[in-house]
Structure 1
Amino acid sequence: MTVALAACGSAKEAGGDSKDDKKKTGPLTIGLLLPEDQTARYENFDRPFVTKKIKGLCADCKVLYVNAKSDPSVQQQQVDSMITKKVDAIILDSVDSKSIASSVRRADEAGIPVVAYDRLAEGPVSAYTSFDNETVGKVQGQALLKALGNKAKSGKIVMLNGWEADPNAAMFKKGALSVLKGKVNIGKSYDIDRWLADKANEAMTGAISSLGKDNIVGVYSANDSMAGGAITALKSGGLNPLPPVTGQDAEIEGVRRVVTGEQYMSVYKSYLDEATAAAEMAVALGRGEKVNESNTVDSPTNKDIPATLITPVSLTKENIKDTVIKDGIYKIDQICTAKVKAACAAAGLK
Structure 2
Amino acid sequence: MKRTTAGTRRVLTAAAVAALTLGLGACGGDPTAAPAEGPHVAFLVPSTSLRSQTYDVPNFTVALQDRCPTCVVDVRTAEDQATQNAQGQEAVRDGAAAVVLVAIDGSQAGDLVTSADAADVPVVAYDRLVKDVPLDYYVSFDGNAVGTLGATALLDSIGSDTAGGAVVMLQGDPADNNAGLFAAGAHSVLDGKVEIADERYVTGWSAAQAEVEMTQALAALGGRRLLGVYTAYDGLAAGALQALTKAGYSGVPITGQDAETAALQRILSGTQTMTVFKDLPAQARATATLVADVLEGRTPDTTGTTDNGSGAVPTVLLQPQAVGKAEVSSKVLAEGYTTVDALCAGAASTVCAQAGVAG
Report the TM-score when normalising by structure 1: 0.91
| Aligned equivalent of 2:247 | 237
Letter matched to residue 151 of structure 1:
D
Residues 287-306 of structure 1: pairs in structure 2 closer than 5 A:
287-303=296-312, 305-306=313-314
Residues 42-121 of structure 1: pairs in structure 2 closer than 5 A:
42-69=52-79, 71-121=80-130
| Aligned equivalent of 2:354 | 346
Contact 2:9 2:295 in 1 (8 A): no
Residue range with higher mean Cα deviation, 173-182 or 28-37: 28-37
Letter matched to residue 263 of structure 2:
G
Contact 2:99 2:122 in 1 (8 A): yes
- In structure 1, list runs of 5 or more residues that go unmatched: 1-11
- Give SS of 2:251's match: coil
Q: Which one of the candidate residues 39, 44, 48 is aligned to 1:28? A: 39
Contact 1:13 1:291 in 2 (8 A): no
Relative CO higher for 1 or 2, CA cutoff 8 Å, sep ≥ 6? 1
Residue range with higher mean Cα deviation, 334-343 or 89-98: 334-343
Task: Tell me if 1:326 matches 2:337.
Answer: no
Task: Tell me if 1:225 matches 2:214.
Answer: no
| Aligned equivalent of 2:221 | 211
Contact 1:14 1:127 in 2 (8 A): no
1:257-281 residue CA offsets vs partner (Å, 9 max, x unmatched): 1111111100111112211111112
1:304-344 residue CA offsets vs partner (Å, 9 max, x unmatched): x1111111000111011111211112111211133232321
Report the TM-score when normalising by structure 2: 0.88
Letter matched to residue 212 of structure 2:
E
Task: Tell me if 1:134 matches 2:144.
Answer: yes
Contact 2:302 2:314 in 1 (8 A): yes
Contact 2:290 2:301 in 1 (8 A): no
Q: CA deviation at 1:294?
A: 4.7
In our comparison, the structure showing a higher alpha carbon Rg is 2
C-alpha separation in 2, matches of 1:153 and 1:214: 9
Task: Tell me if 1:271 matches 2:280.
Answer: yes
C-alpha separation in 1, matches of 2:58 and 2:76: 13
Q: Name the % identity.
A: 32
1:229-260 residue CA offsets vs partner (Å, 9 max, x unmatched): 11111111111x23011000011111111111
Letter matched to residue 357 of structure 2:
L
Structure 1 residues 15 and 328: CA distance shift in structure 2, 3 A: farther
Q: Which one of the candidate residues 5, 9, 16 is aligned to 2:5? A: 16
Number of residue equivalences? 335
Q: CA deviation at 1:135?
A: 0.5
- In structure 2, list runs of 5 or more residues that go unmatched: 20-37
- Give SS of 2:285's match: helix
| Aligned equivalent of 1:248 | 257
C-alpha separation in 2, matches of 1:61 and 1:20: 15
Aligned-residue CA RMSD in angstroms?
1.9
